[in-house]
Amino acid sequence: MNVSPLGISSATLACTVPAQRCPVSSGQLLTACRLAWEQGGQLVALWSSDERDRERGFCLHVLLRDREGLTLLDHTLPDGGASYPDLSTIFPVANRMQRAAFDLVGTQCDSDDARPWTWQAAWPIDQFPLRRDFVASAKWEPGEEDYPFVRVSGDGVHEIAVGPVHAGIIEPGHFRFQVVGEKVLRLEERLSFTHKGIEKRFETLSIAEASRLAGRISGDSTVAYAWAYAQAVEAIAGLELSQRATWLRALCLERERVANHLGDLGYLGNDGGFAFGLAQFSRLKEDLLRLNRRVFGHRLLMDVIVPGGVTHDLAPDSAAEMRSQCVALDREIRLLRDIYDDHAGLQDRIRNCGTVSNELAAKLGLCGFAARASGVPDDLRCDFPLAPYEALAVRRAGHRDGDVAARVTVRFDEALESLRLIDVILDALPQGEIITALPALREFKPALGCVEGWRGPVWVALESGPADTIRRCHPHDPSWQNWPVIEHAVIGNIVPDFPLINKSFNLSYSGHDL
């Protein structure tokens, strides 16, 4: 990112992606963000930290990404009464992140939207859980929150409230529709019902202990989160892993990608009135998860990736079983793809449904496979390949239509490509140790971890504390970027298509509501 015209000094930030860290003033913050936007950059994450114990007040962290790498902008706020400029005028996705930063740390933004995001009367409104003097064990009487949804008025306009408790066994989220007949005029989401205090919990754990927590942030992305966290720890330690460990990590990541795409392709068929698809893809996903359990000890691959390497090696007979499974899955996925493509009823439901144009995707910062289905080619495995992806030559999936059908197509393409990558990994898996001991870590050293998970890029910002403790850990799920896009994707569609549109993204509640 070219920030030299601003005269900002920078330091290298520990990360597998080229990264720099720059302290900025209020004016420089706005200028750097505008410059990044003009050059095609994206806002990756925004969070705050309490630095008063080190006599630094509070700090706003803004992570930007462009084709050259990452830039972390650090803006110091001297006290809780200071404020910083509203970045959502440049990056719309910043809105909810800024609101969450206030709810958790109390850093104020000069924004017209001062509604809470994470706070839902679970703690006193004048208390901020991520401040260092917050007493997490304190007890309070639960309050009530009156959240001011935006309403559309006019003849024939009706409001439909859905959730936060749903008929299915899913996580809670509230969706407020404004409709005329069945046509959606506006959707507004209200999330954060599953706030679990994960960022606060990180600060009570040692760096080694916290790897288990990282892998449980979002159960369907346990490999991606565990790897991103381990990356950050290893960057702080300056640790170089064995080749076998990195290749085994990639094997797990691609199996996680296949499992999630299989599950969602089944649910998408079911939501489109084609229950046969759900039955078949559920069967294939179950076979894959059972093999995970036999080989790595866990269906979802939890606790396989730890700082320093992996906890389970791959025996030759297990590798042979995986190869056979890849051949069978490839054959059945291609057959089911032909059935999906030829099913007139299903195609009628998914084509021209929930469309996100390339221009809208770029403006709102859409990421992951959903962005690739709208013609945004970003994929960390291709753009900034970490070991062993620089040797795997990932074939980037993509589409231009941006509708549910396009997202289905990209899922098929990525599942098949992941099976090819698994086969390549199994053939070329190096020999060697699977774990390397961590040295003592430097205190107060920041680092970033980033992995292209199945849903999109997963980020972990970590700062070490004294004696191998964690001073601050901020995990960031791609769902932060993508949830606001659904509000636009559903406009002009009918209410019964919302479950189909929503499932085509299948965003995380728990990964978003930390």
Q: What is the pTM of this model?
A: 0.96
Domains contained in the chain, CATH given: 4-110 (3.30.460.80), 156-196+479-514 (3.30.390), 240-437 (1.10.645.10)
| DSSP for 380-425, written as a single string | HHHHSPPTTGGGT-------SS-SHHHHHHHHHHHHHHHHHHHHHH
Q: What is the 3-state secondary structure (H, E, C) of 91-127?
A: CCCHHHHHHHHHHHHCCEEECCCCCCCCCCCCCCCCC
Q: Which residue, chain included where needed, has tokens 């009487």?
A: 141
| Position 122 confidence tier, pLDDT thresholds 50, 70, 90 | confident
Please report how many Cα atoms fall inside a 13 Å half-sphere around the Cα of residue 291, on the Cβ side.
Answer: 24
Determine the pLDDT at residue 5: 42
Quick: pLDDT tens for 425-461.
999 999 999 999 999 899 999 999 999 999 999 999 9
Statement: residue 167 has pLDDT above 80: no
Closest C-alpha to 74, from 95, 97, 56, 93: 56
SS3 sequence, 156-212?
A: CEEEEEECCCCCCCCCCCEEEEEEECCEEEEEEEECCCCCCCHHHHHCCCECCCHHH
pLDDT the model gives residue 184: 96
pLDDT for position 7:
59
Distance of alpha carbon 72 from its chain centroid, rounded? 18
Residue 142 has a pLDDT of 78
> Does residue 109 surpass a pLDDT of 50?
yes
Query: Which residues make Cβ contacts (< 8 Å) with residue 139, sequence separation at least 6?
Result: none
CA distance 321 to 443: 44
Residue 32: phi, psi to the nearest 5?
-65, -40
Per-residue confidence band for 2, with pLDDT thresholds at 50, 70 and 90:
very low
Tell me the per-residue pLDDT of 352-365, one tens digit each, with 9 for 90 and over: 999 999 999 999 99
Residues in contact with 409: Cβ distance below 8 Å, sequence separation at least 6, in sequence order: 373, 399
